[in-house]
Structure 1
Amino acid sequence: MIGPALSDPGIPVPSLVVETTETADLGPLVPLLDRGHPLLWMRRGFGLVGLGEALRLEFTGPTRMTEAAATWQRVVAAATVTDPLARTGTGLLAMGAFAFADHSDQTSVLIVPSVIIGRDKGLSWVTRIGVGELAPMSIPSIDPVDEPFRVTLEPGSLSADGYRAAVASAVSRIRAHELNKVVLARDIVGRLPDHADLRSLIATLALGYPDCWTFSVDGFVGSSPETLVSVDNGSVSARVLAGSAARGTDESSDQEAATALATSAKDQDEHQFAVQSVLASLRAHSPNVTASEVPFTLKLPNLWHLASDVDGELTDGSTSLDLVSALHPTAAVAGTPTADALRLIDELEPFDRGRYAGPVGWVGARGDGEWAIALRSAQAASGTITAYAGAGIVAESAPERELLETRMKFRPIAEALS
C-alpha cells in the first residue's frame, strides 16, 4: 500500500506491472467480493470487482481531484501493461470515491486493486497488478454472502424539525435573490452488528436497483441512478437527474405522479438549473455537447425522476478524472450559483457530507471511466453506518414536501438494512 505522498510530483511513483487475461464467466460478482474490504462497480450484473490493494492514493482539500488526475497520469506512464483485450474496463484501472466538500475531513481515494475481475456481456477477464512483479495467477474463490443484517437508523446531526427549519431558511434566502437553488441534505445513523458482511447490503441494493450504479469503495456503498460522467474512446456522456416524485400506489396513480412531475414548473426549473450546470462545465472540453431537448421521466423502484441525457465528443484529450474535476459539484447536488450554494450548505448543514454527493467510480489507463454522483449511499466506519439524502430547494419549495422527498431517497439504504 502506498500512501498520499505520491501526489507530490517530486516523489517517484511505483512501477506497476499489469496483465489482463480472458477467463470463463465466474458468475455473479457480489460473492467474489472481499467481505472485509469490498470493491465493486456494477450495473445490471456487469462490472468490476477489486481484490486487495496494489496501490492506494489519498487526497484532501480543494485540489484533491486535479491532484488525483495528475498523479494517475504519472502512475499510468510508469506502468507496464499487457492487455490483449484492449477494451473498456481491462488493463490498468483504479476505483475511487471523492469527498463532496473542499474542507471535508473524509479522505478521497483512488485504489488500484491487486486483482480485478471484469464481467461484461459475452466476456469476462481477470487483471493482475503488482509492484515490480505479478503474483501467481489464481482464480478467486466464491465466498457465500451472509444473510442480511438489520440496523436501526436514527436521525443524525439534523432532526426532522431541524431540516424543515433549514429548508425554510433556504427558501427565504432564495426569495431574497441571494441564490437560485440550494441542495440541502440530512443524515441518519445506525450501529452495525459485529462482523457485519457489507456484501449482503450490496447484494440487496443491486437486486432492488439493477439499473443504478451499485458501488462499494473503502466502506462507502450505495446504488446511484445519476451518471456524473462517462468517457469511452473520446465520447463523453452524462445523465442529469433533478426533480423527483413518489411512485403511485397503483398503475393509474403512478402515471398521474409521472405526469405531475413532468408538468411541474418547480421541478422543471430545478432540472434546468442542473442541466445547464453540466453543459457549461463540459463545453470547454466538448464544444458541441448537447442535452435532451425535453426532460424525460425516469422510473425507479421508489420514485420518479426528471432526467436528461448529455452527449458529446471530447476535443482536448481530457480524461474522465479531468472531467470529474470540471463538473463537481453540479447544481443537482449543490445548487446555483455554485459558490453561493456551497456557502449556504456550510451554514445550514451541521455535518460533514463526507463522500455523499461526491464522484464515485473508476478510471482506466487511457483516461476512460465511469463516474456516478454518490447518491442513495452510506459510509460504514468504526462500527457505524451513516446514510445521507438531500432535496433541491428553490423559491417554491415547501419544507414538509422536501422532508418527505428525503425520506423517499433514504428508502434504498433504509429498506436494505431493515
Structure 2
Amino acid sequence: MSTTHEELRIEAPVDALDTVARLAASGRFAEYVVYERPGEWVFAGDTLGGVELDTDELRVSWDGQVRATTWVGRPAIALDEALASLPIGDRQAYGWIGFEFCAYTLDAEQHLEGVHELARLMVPRIEVRIDGSGMTIVGCDDAERDEIRAIVNAADGPDPLAEPVDIRADATDYRGRVATAVAEIAAGGYQKVILSRKVDLPFAVDMPATYRLGRAHNTPARSFLLRMGGLEAAGFSPELVAAVDEDGVVTTEPLAGTRAFGRGVAADSAARIDLESDPKEIVEHAVSVRTSVAEIESVAIPGTSSVSDFMTVRERGSVQHLASTVRGQLSEHHSHWEALEVLFPSVTASGIPKRESVDTIFRLDGAARGLYSGAVVTVSSEGVLEATLVLRAVYQQNGKAWLRAGAGVIEQSRPEREFEETCEKLASVSPYVVRRL
C-alpha cells in the first residue's frame, strides 16, 4: 500500500460542505471520516491502518497486517500505546470512542455484558483539507488527485429531500424513567443524570445527503460524518468534551440548560430570558461547571484552571444552551489521553457525580448507548487531541437507523418538560434525515 504523503495546494474558494459531502457520497472510499472544526474541514479516507478496541480484544493494523491481543487496565492507555506503536509520522488519526469506554474508570464494568465495540481509530492515506482560502490534497498521486478533483467538480444533482420523522412517540417510557430518577435524586442517590431516548427510523438513511442538509441548518461547535466498519453517523456537535493543544492547554466546554431556538425572534428572545432566569437550568449548569473544573484540576498544574464565558447563551441549531469554557495547563505527569479520560464522558451527557450517574444510565437507559454521548476524536502523532461530543446525530448500523437525545434530570425536573427538551434537541436533526434510495 502506498504511503505517499505529498501535498497539492489549490488556492481558490471552495464550498467545504459540498466538497466533503461529494467525496463521502462518491463510493470511492470504503471508510472515511469528515471532521469540521472552526476554520477547517477535513475529509480523511483510504485507511493505512488503525486501532480497534473491543471489550475483549485490541487489534492494531498497518499496511494490511493485523495484530490482535487481549488488553487489561484502562482503555485510554491501551489506545495511546497502540497508536504510538504505528509509524504514522506526521499524519493524524481520526475515529470515535463510545459511551461505554467510561465503564473501566467509573467501576461500571459489570454493565458491559453484550457490549462489544469501545473505540475505533483510523490513520488515513488521503486527506482533503479545506480552509477559507482553498483546498489541500494530501497523500495521493497525480491520478488520484485528478480523480478527487473530478468528484468535487461533477455536475450538481437534485437537492436532497428529507423524510418526515415522528419524534414524539415515547416508546421507552421516557417520562416514567425521568420520574424514577427524580425520586432517586430526592433520596440522595446522586445530584443529576442525563437520561436519553432512542427514536428508531423505519428506513435506511443516506448519510452524506443528511449531513449536507443538516449542516446547512445547524450551527454546531464541530460537525462530523463517518463510515467506519459497520457504523455510519452524521452529527452536529454542540460542545467539546476535551481538547489538548500543542502547548498542553486542556479545554472543555460544558453546556447545560436548554430552550428551543429558531421559532422566531420574539419566541427565541422569550426563551432565552426564561433560560437565563430558570433556577433549575442555572443550578444544572453551575454544578456541571464545578465538576468540569474539578476534573481539569486533577490533571492540570495547580493554579492554572480557569472559567471563561461563564453561563453565556450559545445557539446550536434548534436549541440554545447555557455554556461555559473551562481550561487548565496539563501537568507533565499526565498525558493528553489521560486528560480526555478524566473528562469523559462529558458531564453534560452523564451526570453528577459521574460514577453514580453512569451507573444510573446503564440501569435506566436500557440498551448500550454506543456512539451517542461518546466522542469523535482526532489526534496527531505529537498528541494534540480533540474530542467532540456526539449529540444531535443520526446513526446507522446492522441495517438499522436511529436518532437519540437526552435531557439533564435533577430533583426539580418535571418528566413532561424533560421529554419536551428531548424533542427540541431531536429537532436539530429530524427535519433533515434523507432516505437512502
Is the structural similarity TM-score above 0.5? yes
User: Post-superposition, which runs of at least 4 consecutive aligned residues in structure 1 deviate over 6 A?
Assistant: none
Q: Equivalents in 1 of 2:225, 2:335: separation in Å?
A: 22
Q: Which of 43, 47, 54 pairs up with 2:41?
A: 47
Q: Which of 357, 366, 389 pairs up with 2:373?
A: 357
- The residue correspondences of 1:284-295 to structure 2 (distance < 5 A) are 284-287=298-301, 288-292=304-308, 294-295=310-311
Unaligned runs of 5+ in 1: 2-15, 82-90
Please say if 1:127 is aligned against 2:146.
no
- The residue correspondences of 1:102-113 to structure 2 (distance < 5 A) are 102=103, 103=112, 104-113=115-124
User: Is this contact kept in 1: 2:194–2:348, CA < 8 A?
Assistant: yes
- The residue correspondences of 1:23-62 to structure 2 (distance < 5 A) are 23-25=9-11, 27=14, 28=16, 29-35=19-25, 36=27, 37-43=31-37, 46-61=40-55
Q: Shift of residue 154 of structure 1?
A: 5.7
Per-residue CA deviations over 1:50-98 (Å, capped at 9, x if unaligned) read 12211131112383333112212222xx34x4xxxxxxxxx40111111
Aligned counterpart, 2:391? 375
- Change beyond 3 A, Cα 1:159–1:138: same
SS in 1 for 2:173: helix
Q: Which of 199, 208, 211 pairs up with 1:202?
A: 211
Q: Shift of residue 32 of structure 1?
A: 4.3
SS in 1 for 2:428: helix
Q: Equivalents in 2 of 1:241, 1:179: separation in Å?
A: 19
SS in 1 for 2:412: coil
User: Is this contact kept in 2: 1:69–1:322, CA < 8 A?
Assistant: no
SS in 2 for 1:350: coil
Which amino acid in the other structure matches residue 124 of structure 1? Answer: M
Deviates most, 372-381 or 116-125: 116-125
- Change beyond 3 A, Cα 1:322–1:282: same
- Change beyond 3 A, Cα 1:300–1:34: closer
Aligned counterpart, 2:241? 228
SS in 2 for 1:58: strand
TM-score (norm 1): 0.84
Per-residue CA deviations over 1:221-267 (Å, capped at 9, x if unaligned) read 21111111222212332221011011374323322211221122111
- The residue correspondences of 1:8-407 to structure 2 (distance < 5 A) are 17=3, 19-25=5-11, 27=14, 28=16, 29-35=19-25, 36=27, 37-43=31-37, 46-61=40-55, 63-75=74-86, 78-79=87-88, 81=89, 91-101=90-100, 102=103, 103=112, 104-122=115-133, 124-128=135-139, 138-139=145-146, 140=148, 141-142=151-152, 147-151=159-163, 153=165, 159=170, 162-193=173-204, 197-217=206-226, 218=228, 219-234=232-247, 235-247=249-261, 249-287=263-301, 288-292=304-308, 294-316=310-332, 320-407=336-423
Q: Shift of residue 284 of structure 1?
A: 3.1
Q: Equivalents in 1 of 2:22, 2:334: separation in Å?
A: 33
Q: Equivalents in 2 of 1:326, 1:294: separation in Å?
A: 21
Which amino acid in the other structure matches residue 92 of structure 1? Answer: R
User: Is this contact kept in 2: 1:100–1:357, CA < 8 A?
Assistant: yes
Aligned counterpart, 1:88? none
Which amino acid in the other structure matches residue 176 of structure 1? Answer: A
Per-residue CA deviations over 1:81-124 (Å, capped at 9, x if unaligned) read 4xxxxxxxxx4011111110142333410011120111223353
Q: Equivalents in 2 of 1:369, 1:25: separation in Å?
A: 28
Deviates most, 324-333 or 181-190: 324-333
SS in 2 for 1:366: coil
SS in 2 for 1:233: coil
Q: Equivalents in 1 of 2:254, 2:319: separation in Å?
A: 15
User: Is this contact kept in 1: 2:262–2:318, CA < 8 A?
Assistant: no
CA RMSD in angstroms, aligned pairs only: 2.7
User: Is this contact kept in 2: 1:324–1:359, CA < 8 A?
Assistant: no
Deviates most, 261-270 or 315-324: 315-324
User: Is this contact kept in 2: 1:66–1:325, CA < 8 A?
Assistant: no
Deviates most, 355-364 or 396-405: 355-364
User: Is this contact kept in 2: 1:151–1:192, CA < 8 A?
Assistant: no
SS in 1 for 2:395: strand
How many residue pairs get aligned? The number is 385
- Change beyond 3 A, Cα 1:250–1:413: closer
Please say if 1:416 is aligned against 2:432.
yes
Q: Equivalents in 1 of 2:290, 2:3: separation in Å?
A: 42
User: Is this contact kept in 2: 1:145–1:197, CA < 8 A?
Assistant: no
Unaligned runs of 5+ in 2: 56-72, 104-111
- Change beyond 3 A, Cα 1:124–1:366: farther
Q: Shift of residue 25 of structure 1?
A: 4.6
User: Is this contact kept in 1: 2:347–2:354, CA < 8 A?
Assistant: yes
Q: Shift of residue 405 of structure 1?
A: 0.3
